[in-house]
Amino acid sequence: MKSPGIRTTLASVSLALLVGLALLTALPSAAQPDSTQIRLASDVWPPFTDVLGNTRIAIDLVTEALGHSNQEVRIIIREDFGKLMEGIVAGTYDGSAALWHSTEREAFLIFSRPYMENRLVLVGRKGADVSATDLASLAGRQIAIVGDYAYNLTGANNEAPEWISGQSDQENLQNLLKGTCDYVLADAFLIQHVLERYGAKAEEALQVSPNPLLTRTLHFAVRKDVPDAADIIAKFDEAIRKMVSDGSYNEILQLNWIRADVDGDGLVELVMGSAYTGPDAPDSGYDVLTTGQSTDGTYSRYWIDGQLYSSWNEVPDQYKAVPTTIPAPSLTGGGMLNLDF
């Protein structure tokens, strides 16, 4: 049998290459990412932003929400917040997962709607007066705080309290329980975790102000010159709304109940984030937002598994069963609290 000629062999190879290229171009789009990675920079501010492996709920919320639209994200953690902002202005970073809004920043950033709030609340030992509405009324009192807690409170008033700088909120709360300070200033999110995790022990030991001394909304923001910046923000806002509704927001915060306006009627609902409620109606929940949101002052509306119930009696019994086992909270490190009452 005669061997094939060189021309025939080359023709066969060429045909094979063309077929291979055609197959490659026909592969599903999943094999060819159609999203451009955005670089989001944050500083170390537990439990909201931190390095990988520590609790960083703001970063987790943002990356989860962006994942709904297949947006690739790279998180960069920097120690110096000032340098971080300079990097965003210079284009080194595309934005940040967690920023407070300001008119100055609005000149070069597009901000999402607020996806949570930072609320600094006054905490004392049981029976303490926590009704203060400003720092001046706390002059002379010893108040423990982590650094300046990024709120720049320590120089806010000449008639300031005596500030005691602690290494962590856990250390500060333990010192409060020991009586070595009068009060602690801590974020409402952390205190909600204490109340949910320790229940009656926390309620018997701590007095928590219902009114924060300072509230600031937290936003995801990207530079205006980032391609499709407005679309990225719009998709993020919609994803957060869905996460609040389906319970995945609760899951990231590891809170059983949050309070949010799920159906957009201006009134908040208690939103369940687990498979059980227990037999008794909840009497509190973590407020996702308080700024610009009205409430009827009651806890009579419940959002469970995508369904609104106007009273506790309407909630099906299947959700009220007492669970045989309750998972232990895992948010105990990197900014979360593990207290010894």
- For 35-71, what is each residue's pLDDT tens digit? 589 999 999 888 899 999 888 999 999 999 999 999 9
The answer, yes or no, to whether the previous bond of 28 is cis (omega within 30 of 0) is: no
Tokens 């971080």 correspond to what residue? 84
Record: fold of 117-214: D-Maltodextrin-Binding Protein; domain 2 (3.40.190)
Amino acid at 136: A
CA distance 196 to 314: 24
Who contacts 90 (Cβ-Cβ below 8 Å, separation ≥6)? Answer: none
Strand partners, 40: 75, 95
- For 221-242, what is each residue's pLDDT tens digit? 999 999 999 999 999 999 999 9
8 A C-beta contact, residue 185 and residue 153: yes
Domain range 38-116+216-242, CATH class: alpha beta
- For 144-184, what is each residue's pLDDT tens digit? 988 655 566 655 555 678 888 888 888 899 999 999 999 99
Q: pTM for this structure?
A: 0.78
Q: Which two tokens stand for residue 103?
A: 């008119």
8 A C-beta contact, residue 294 and residue 260: no
- For 277-336, what is each residue's pLDDT tens digit? 778 888 778 888 886 555 545 557 899 988 999 999 999 988 887 665 544 444 544 445
Give the chain's length. 341
Q: Which residue intervals of the chain bear CATH 3.40.190.10?
A: 38-116+216-242, 117-214
Q: Are strands 142-146 and 73-77 parallel, antiparallel or unpaired?
A: unpaired
CA distance 82 to 69: 30
